[in-house]
Structure 1
Amino acid sequence: MKIVMDFRKYDGVVGGVEQGVVQVTKQLVKNKHSVILLSKQARIDEVKSIFKGSENVKHIPLPVRTHAISFKNVINDSFKIQKIGISESADLIHFPYNWSFPLIKKLPTIITIHDVIPFTFREAMGLFKNLFIYKPAIRMAAKLNDIIATVSEFSKLDISSKVGVPADKIKVIPNGIRHPYKPTAELINQLTRKFGLENGFVLNVGGIHERKNIVRLIHAFAKLLKEESYPGKLVITGKVSGAPYQEKMKKLCDRAIEEEKISNRVVFTGFISDEELDNLFSMADLFVYPSLYEGFGIPVLEAMNIGTPVITSNTTALSEVADNAALLINPEDVNDIYQGMKKLLNDKNLKRTLIQKGRKRASEFSWEKTADMYIELYNEIINKS
């Protein structure tokens, strides 16, 4: 079969969504199928290097929008991608991101909707864009694509109830996790010196979006310092600037740090590489992920895979992904987050048990499994069309 794969979201970093596209594409090629890969014109050389050595991948660059996303652009791109699919005699088009849809119904299409954050955090993408672009686009995508794939049972129910599509139109295909980098003494020493981590640390990853719940984590960590005399730091990875919501949230985080008088105990690393992240996972006393909303929660599995004990939320998809291999807390309760950290730092048997369960849980997920499930779904859709 020949699949058109939309890889335009790739912007220099292979995150979870991009990793899924890479693995599905490579698995298709491995099974002697063909892929038409669409990517940003400005990133075409990087994309080609990612797929170097992969036969049966045809790269088609698309021009980059020089202005903000608009509903008009979404529609124009829809026509363009359908036209490419028809001209390349493709069997199916896969949109791996939340809001693409076909307006010319010439080919079967599948969309992966990872979550419906715009329906829950209304200001997450900017109020205007959220109301007039993202939410309408997600609704159109859910309606016009032949089938919706999503990453968890939670997201399936959330999409069905908030977007208004039948649950039987939605297929759950869990994310995988990447193979971790092995920790190295050289990089561990470098990170320890750079961020002052000689006395240990609690790790949080994923940036400072409102739903990541960092302000409550800061207050809970301050309580850990005061009540338990914890000697380490709180390390928060991910971008903290560049978008209006990041600037706003960084100010709220800074205010919380100032209120608690712990500025010397909280580290914002900014963007770090996967190799640096895996070394931080291996060094951390705990990984704490008290997010208010996740469609999946790849960092939970990444931490487990490396052997870091995990504390995460008892809400959305996080309890589903963690299963019984993490200590679950109420993310809206600062004291509960604090009590979770206190318990896991002091209870060595619980810590050991969660590390063992975490490794086992993480082993149940792989991008190869994810890719095979997508290929099975492609065949099912093509055979029905």
Structure 2
Amino acid sequence: MRIGIDIRCLMHSLFSGISEYTYNLVINLLALDHENEYVLFYNSAQATAAPKFNARNVTVKEFQYPNKLFNLSMRFIGRPRVDQLIGGVDAFIIPNFLFLRLSPQVAKLLIVHDLTFELYPEFFTFKKRLWHTLIGPKIFCDQADTIVAISENTKQDLMTLYQTDPKKITVINPGVSDAFFEPIPEAELSRVSNTYRLPKKYILSLGNLEPRKNVSGLIDAFESITDLETELLIAGGNAWMYKKLYRQAQASKKKNKIRFLGYVDAADKPALYKLATIFAYPSFYEGFGLPPLEAMAVGTPVVTSASSSLPEAVDSAGLLVNPYNTNELTNALQSLLSAPTLALMLSQAGQAQVRKFRWRQQAQLIHQEILKLKKGVK
């Protein structure tokens, strides 16, 4: 079986969210499947090379078409058909909504992370909203032979908003990278601590700086924390309206205790999580939300939102709060800072919970869905 995968989301050197998911999916599929042939489609007019994958049954088809022209051509002309461009495939994995055209006979497995753009359009720029409109996510869902929803919450959204047939939706959660399960040497902890000038006690937030992540609410909650030693470290790449967060932090009465770390390299994340006193993730909406699980894997207690898919991921192994209630968030953070026994209990519970989400086992489930496409089960 010849299987195509769209890896255009890996054209950016700074991975986050969907790009991390796609990269981990590819390397784990290649690790477990040595029989089928994988053809990875990559296009970038920039001088960004496609990632290297070391397996005998993988080929990267790399193109350098101007992205805007390429996307507009597929959207309005229906050409080129990517499966023909890469030499023909039996099935094609679509890891996120992007401009794409495939031949009708190609079996299509679509991965849907979330429908935030439908539910909360106010979290997106006009340009991004137009982009989603032009792509036509519902058409993707209608044409897919199988849809992998990354959470039960996303499945329900698909059924409610797009009237997608539940029979063709399979829920398979993302996995947590193996790097977060491995012991972290003391030398590595020291290196990361020195690199980021980490304080003894800190609350960590990690994610792109955009309104949906509710970093603003976290800054507000932090202002009421009575522990004078604890600092708030905010990690993540600059995104929409990030300057507003910088201004808010600068105006805070605790401005000397709030610091932005910028984009954090993947290699530094395990130690950064591990050294944190608390990981806080009060996002308004997530398709699944991997950062809380990554923190739990290294034993750091988590405070996150009791909304969207986050209760699915964290369950009772973290403190769940209403992201719109600043006092509730403050109280949860304060309780962990003042109760070491509770923090230890959540640390242990978190490490047990996250074992359900190993990438190898999640990739095996997706691999089974790919084989069903070949047999025409769905």
**C-alpha contact (below 8 Å) 1:290/1:311 kept by paired residues:** yes
Q: Which residue of 2 aligns with 1:26?
A: 30
Identity of aligned residues (%): 24
Q: CA deviation at 1:106?
A: 1.6
Residue-by-residue CA offset, 1:13-57 (whole Å, 9 max, x unaligned): 454322343234314543x21101112355785423xx12x0111
Say if 1:117 and 1:76 are closer, same or farther in 2 by CA, change over 3 A.
farther
Aligned partner of 2:211 in structure 1 is: 210
Residues 137-180 of structure 1: per-residue CA shift (max 9 Å, x gap)? 21111111112111010111012212332222211111001012
Q: 1:185 Cα shift?
A: 3.6
Change (3 A) 1:78 1:223: farther
Q: Given that residues 74 and 100 in structure 2 are in contact (C-alpha distance below 8 angstroms), is that contact kept between their aligned partners in structure 1?
A: no
Q: For 1:325, which of 311, 314, 317 is the aligned residue?
A: 317
Partner of residue 2, structure 1: 2
- Write out per-residue CA displacement over residues 231-271 of structure 1, whole angstroms, 9 at most, x where no aligned residue: 1211111112xx5x1xx2x2321332234222211111111
Alignment deviations for residues 59-99 of structure 1 (CA, whole Å, 9 cap, x no partner): 211224354995544466874213246x43x2211111124
Distance 1:78 1:148, change over 3 A: farther
Q: In 2, are the aligned partners of 1:5 and 1:38 still within 8 Å (CA)?
A: yes
Match of 1:336 in 2: 328
Q: Does 1:47 align with 2:51?
A: yes
Give, in whole Å, the separation in 2 of the partners of 1:142 and 1:187: 44
Residue 232 of structure 2 corresponds to 234
For the residue of structure 2 that corresponds to 1:217, the secondary structure is: helix
**Structure-2 separation of matches of 1:171 and 1:303:** 26
The DSSP-based 3-state class of the residue aligned with 1:252 is helix
Q: Does the 8 Å contact 2:97/2:135 carry over to 1? A: no
Structure 2: how far apart are the matches of 1:345 and 1:265?
Answer: 16
- How many Å apart are 1:345 and its aligned residue? 1.4
Deviations 1:338-374, CA, capped at 9 Å, x for gaps: 0000111112222111111111111111111121111
Shift in CA distance, 3/194, structure 1 to aligned 2, threshold 3 Å: closer
Q: Is the 8 A contact 2:50 2:62 kept in 1?
A: no
SS at the partner of 2:372? helix
1:164: which partner in 2?
A: 163
Aligned to 2:145: 146
- 8 Å CA contact 1:112–1:150 kept in 2: the answer is yes
Q: How many residues were matched structurally?
A: 370
Q: Is the contact between residue 82 and residue 102 of structure 2 (CA under 8 Å) also seen in structure 1? A: no
Alpha-carbon contact 1:44-1:61 (below 8 Å) kept: no
1:39–1:182 distance in 2 versus 1, CA, 3 Å: farther
**In the aligned structure 2, how far is the partner of 1:170 from the partner of 1:147?**
6
Residue 280 of structure 2 aligns to a residue whose secondary structure is: strand
* Correspondence for 2:173: 174
C-alpha distance in structure 1 between counterparts of 2:83 and 2:139, whole Å: 16
Unaligned runs of 5+ in 2: none
Structure-2 residue corresponding to 1:118: 117
Per the TM alignment, residue 108 of structure 1 is displaced from its structure 2 partner at its CA by: 1.0
CA distance in 2, matches of 1:76, 1:172: 33
Other structure's SS at 1:164 match: coil
Find out whether 1:269 has 2:258 as its counterpart: no
Distance 1:71 1:217 in 2: 40
Residue of structure 1 in register with 2:41 after alignment: 38
- Counterpart contact for 1:311–1:327, Cα < 8 Å: yes
Q: Which residue of the partner structure matches residue 382 of structure 1? A: 374
In structure 1, give the amino acid aligned to 2:39: I
Partner of 1:297: 289
Distance change in 2, residues 1:235/1:74 (3 Å): farther
Amino acid at match of 1:291: S
How much is the aligned-residue C-alpha RMSD, in angstroms?
Answer: 2.4
Whether 1:57 and 2:58 are equivalent positions in the alignment is yes
- The residue identity in structure 2 corresponding to 1:26 is L
Q: TM-score when scaled to structure 2?
A: 0.89
Unpaired runs of 5+ in structure 1? none
Conserved 8 A contact 1:29-1:35: no
Structure 1 residues 92 and 28, CA gap change in structure 2 (3 angstroms): farther
Superposition map of 1:280-319 within 5 A: 280-319=272-311
Deviation of residue 193 (structure 1)?
Answer: 4.2
- After TM superposition, the runs of 4+ consecutive aligned structure 1 residues lying more than 6 A away are none
Does the CA contact (< 8 Å) of 1:178 and 1:366 recur in 2?
Answer: yes
Going from structure 1 to structure 2, the CA distance change for 1:68 and 1:60 (only over 3 Å counts) comes to closer
- Alpha-carbon distance in 2 for matches of 1:212, 1:158: 19
